[in-house]
Structure 1
Amino acid sequence: MVHGRKINSSKISLLMQDYPKGLVLLSAWLVSQGYSHELLLQYRRSGWLRSIGKGAMLKSGDPLILSGALAALQSQAHIGIHLGGRSALQQHGAAHYLQLAASDVSLFAPGGTKLPQWFTNNQWDIPPVVFKSTLFDNDQIGLTDYQDAGIEMQISGPGRALLECLSLCPDEFPLVEGYELMEGLATLRPDSVQGLLESCKSIKAKRLFLYFAQKAGHSWFKYIDTSRIELGTGNRSLVKGGALVPEYKLVLPEELA
């Protein structure tokens, strides 16, 4: 019994020290790391861990922070959800001049993604808004590593994040803001942009991205091979009574045309 307590003491010390504050710990994942169900139950009864829903725990005293939940979904549950859109651009410093309020965070997941109840039922420090859409042929394209107070996760890189924003235009994202964000993306890599546009499934988002890049005069735009990008046919009207942009077959507000 003494030997068992020493082992348990060593394992709880590792658990307390190795994982950052606020990281959600999933029972199934901890079991795969060598913590038995019985041991986890003992930790909860002893007050080391607290349950935040079926199969999910926090170290006692840790707050409910969205980054800790998102990291657990990605790295422990292997669910394809990430911080994207305007929220990702804000983290990259590309949207700060717009004075965006951090009243909520935009998360993106492929269509049909099922999120666990421990995630949807808890009140996180920042409320998440989840958009479910299979926007890219390659779900992983354009994601980048990010760290928040020791919690590691993946978020959209700037190019992908803007395409996510533009896919929501005009009903859930303002067209004018989409262009203003594009103005700040002067240093995108052409090869990265090319890959994103070839993988993106939204004709609307791709047309807007290309037109806004051309209008902003970015130097990388001339390296994009539009012949390899599926841009569809026919006009896309995004506003009533707007002006037609013939090259991209977009009907936009006159101030953007």
Structure 2
Amino acid sequence: MSSLRSEKLRSLLDAWEPRSVATTAYLKTLGITPQDLQNYTSSRWLMSLGRGAFKRPKETVTWQGALHGLQSQLRSPVHVGALTALEMWGNNHYVRFAATRACLLSPLNVALPLWFRTHWGDEIRHVQTKLLPPDLGVIEQTTPEGFALRTSTAERAALELLHLAPKIFGLVEAGLIMESMTLIRPKLMQSLLEQCASIKARRLFLYLAERADLPVMRHLDLDRIDLGVGDRSLVPNGRYVAKYRLLLPKELVDPG
């Protein structure tokens, strides 16, 4: 290996964030050429994850490290959302008996690269949706590994969770989670509810927040929140909530 290529490799490895992915596009900005990459991989200084991405040998990369590469290097509009975001914000005050895949959300027609799906596809669930504007209620949150990931705020994540219930998440579980969300910020929640594309999610949020007597309900302007028309039947043989025109599990309607 030439001294120039060796120096480039040393600088690259020194700057590499532990347990993360480096994309070809990012490496190109560092002056790493395709010939360099071929030499580095053949010499086992780098390991290819497939077309467009690399990691350091003998290093375990989690989906969080891979997502960090997508967000920071490729500017991919994919964020951590729904239950996974709520867990990151500490809103999982109950025991889950089954492991679940991490929930990542993006606008419609945004695909995860093949290399990401090949290595972490079994650990994540990618949902394409037009539920909310892409940047509303999405901020950076640092994982225990130290990665700053674009993540839904608790307020946005609650609507994402309700939008995906009952198909992906249980309605009763969602109700239990909502009971713990006493710190919802009214201004942000108002904006999210007004711009949310799902009538079902809007109605569910208001019903569950009212049921749990969450403080946010005393500050929302309900006249500005469109609840649509017609009934929404979410379970067979459920209990009907006339105010919000929802058919829900009896556990969420009948007195405990």
| Same fold, TM-score > 0.5, yes or no | yes
Distance in 1 separating the partners of 2:227 and 2:136? 19
Match of 2:41 in 1: 44
Match of 2:138 in 1: 143
Kindly indicate whether residue 199 of structure 2 is the aligned counterpart of residue 203 of structure 1: yes
Match of 1:215 in 2: 211
Q: Please, which runs of 5 or more residues in structure 2 have no aligned partner?
A: none
**Which range moves more in the overlay, 13-22 or 221-230?**
13-22
Distance in 2 separating the partners of 1:146 and 1:101? 25
* Pairwise CA distance, 1:184: 0.8
Match of 1:60 in 2: 57
Instruction: Trace 1:1-257 onto structure 2 (pairs within 5 A).
Output: 5=3, 7-99=4-96, 101-123=98-120, 127-136=123-132, 138-148=133-143, 149-257=145-253
The one-letter amino acid of 1:59's match is: R
Write out per-residue CA displacement over residues 165-186 of structure 1, whole angstroms, 9 at most, x where no aligned residue.
1111222221111111111110
Write out per-residue CA displacement over residues 196-243 of structure 1, whole angstroms, 9 at most, x where no aligned residue.
112211110111011111111111211111222222111111122322
Q: 1:100 to 1:133 in 2, by over 3 A?
A: farther
Q: 1:103 to 1:252 in 2, by over 3 A?
A: closer
* Pairwise CA distance, 1:190: 0.5
The one-letter amino acid of 2:117's match is: T
Q: Please, which runs of 5 or more residues in structure 1 have no aligned partner?
A: none
The one-letter amino acid of 1:240's match is: P
Whether the aligned pair in 2 keeps the contact of 1:64 and 1:123 (CA below 8 Å) is no
* Pairwise CA distance, 1:44: 2.0
Q: 1:36 to 1:164 in 2, by over 3 A?
A: same
Whether the aligned pair in 2 keeps the contact of 1:145 and 1:152 (CA below 8 Å) is yes
* Pairwise CA distance, 1:100: 5.5
Matched pairs, number: 252
Distance in 1 separating the partners of 2:204 and 2:230? 14
**Which range moves more in the overlay, 49-58 or 154-163?**
154-163
Whether the aligned pair in 1 keeps the contact of 2:155 and 2:185 (CA below 8 Å) is no
TM-score of the pair, normalised by structure 1: 0.90
CA RMSD of aligned residues (A): 2.0
Distance in 2 separating the partners of 1:123 and 1:78? 19
